[in-house]
Amino acid sequence: MKRRDRLVLKYRRAIDWARTYLAAPVVVIYYYTGTETDCPDCVYDPINKESIDPSCPTCSGRGRIQTERALTVNANVSWRGITDQYNYMRLPGGNIEAGDVIVSCKLNDVLLDTGKPGGQTYFDIAHYILVNDRKCKLLTTPLRYGLAGDLYNCAAVLVLDTTETTTTTT
């Protein structure tokens, strides 16, 4: 084994150790594709793709109900606080403001297809993400990075979702 390979392996083990012992559970809530069912309380209009009853309390007038799935990922979580307001972090998608959260995890834990490191992640399709029981939504495209040219980690910048509240049942 070359010296470079030993060094990369050493740093990978250190990163994995830090993630294992310092990580917090992050729950990614997403709609599972293909699990839409007709609402039991109203009639679905397939031509207009909505409910005949727009005030249906069960489906909110959609006529269909999507099944939510949850994926729990161990991730390093970093909240940007008031003390960070003058310590700007710039990303290609914009600045990270106070109150935003950075979630970093192992790339294979969040890939939809583990054989495609550049493929779509669960962060991309998330309806919302629970961090410390606080509802968040994706702010920027998840960033993939790694060691020695090998994609290994994934980081996502999230913002608190203040539009609605939720209770967790995981």
Q: Does residue 165 fall inside a structural domain?
A: no
Residues 10 and 90 in one domain: yes
Residue 76 CA to residue 25 CA, distance in Å, equals 9
Residues 58 and 135 in one domain: no
Residues 80 and 122 in one domain: yes
Tens of pLDDT along 16-49? Answer: 787 777 777 888 888 766 667 888 888 888 888 8
Residues 154 and 86 in one domain: yes
Q: Does residue 146 fall inside a structural domain?
A: yes
Residues 43 and 108 in one domain: no
Q: How many domains does the chain have?
A: 2
Q: What is the pLDDT of residue 34?
A: 63
CB atoms inside a 10 Å sphere around CB 153 = 20
Q: Report pTM.
A: 0.66
Residue 70 CA to residue 59 CA, distance in Å, equals 20
Domain that holds residue 44: 36-66
Residue 87 CA to residue 103 CA, distance in Å, equals 18
pLDDT band at 170, cuts 50/70/90?
A: very low
Which residue in 33, 32, 52 sits closest to 42, CA to CA?
Answer: 52
Q: Does residue 24 fall inside a structural domain?
A: yes
Residues 22 and 87 in one domain: yes
